[in-house]
Amino acid sequence: MRARLHVDCLDHARACVRAALDGWDATDLTQVDSCRVLLEQSVSDLQELEANLQTYPAGMPQDSIADIDALKQDIAMMVRLVDAGSAFYRGVALRLGDAGPAYDQSGMAPAEAAAPALRGMQI
């Protein structure tokens, strides 16, 4: 039963990351926020999995190793997408003469602050 819980947590974490990858659109801050929620859910699933593994002496079932590797690849792809989007917005800010951060400490750009600067922008 516990092995099934491990697989369920891992499967759900991967499904959340895949959904974030599939829905990623760096030009739509609402969609970026939706991806953030999915990624937070994935982290929660992985934290639950880690807590369960610490109380289960047998550890992760061997057949889950491939799933973990696939999840790592999906996470690495998501990191690259977020980094690219962040770099783009930093470049836009520099182009507009504002070298300030493209997002706040929570990881989200205030929509009302970004929208007026980008309207009518010609690159």
* Residue 35: Cβ-neighbour burial (10 angstroms; 0-12, 13-18, 19+): buried
Who has greater pLDDT, 123 or 31?
A: 31
* pLDDT beyond 90 at 89: no
The answer to whether position 24 is within a domain reads yes
Rounded Cα distance between 18 and 39, Å, is 9
For the chain, how many structural domains are there in total?
Answer: 1
**Mean of per-residue pLDDT scores for the chain:** 77
Across 20-24, 80-84, 89-93, least confident range = 89-93
**Is the pLDDT assigned to residue 22 strictly greater than 90?**
yes
Show the domain range for 81. 2-118
For residue 31, is it within any domain? yes
- Report yes or no on 93 lying in a domain: yes
Instruction: Report which of residues 6 and 37 the model is more confident about.
Output: 37
In a domain, 60, yes or no: yes
pTM of the full structure:
0.66
Q: In this structure, is residue 38 part of a structural domain? A: yes
**Tens-place pLDDT, residues 38-47:** 999 999 988 8
- What radius of gyration, in Å, describes the C-alpha atoms of the chain? 18
Domain for residue 98, yes or no?
yes
Q: Cα separation of 56 and 97, whole Å?
A: 55
Distances (CA, A) of 91 to 70, 79, 100, 123: 32, 18, 11, 11
**Residue 123 included in any domain:** no
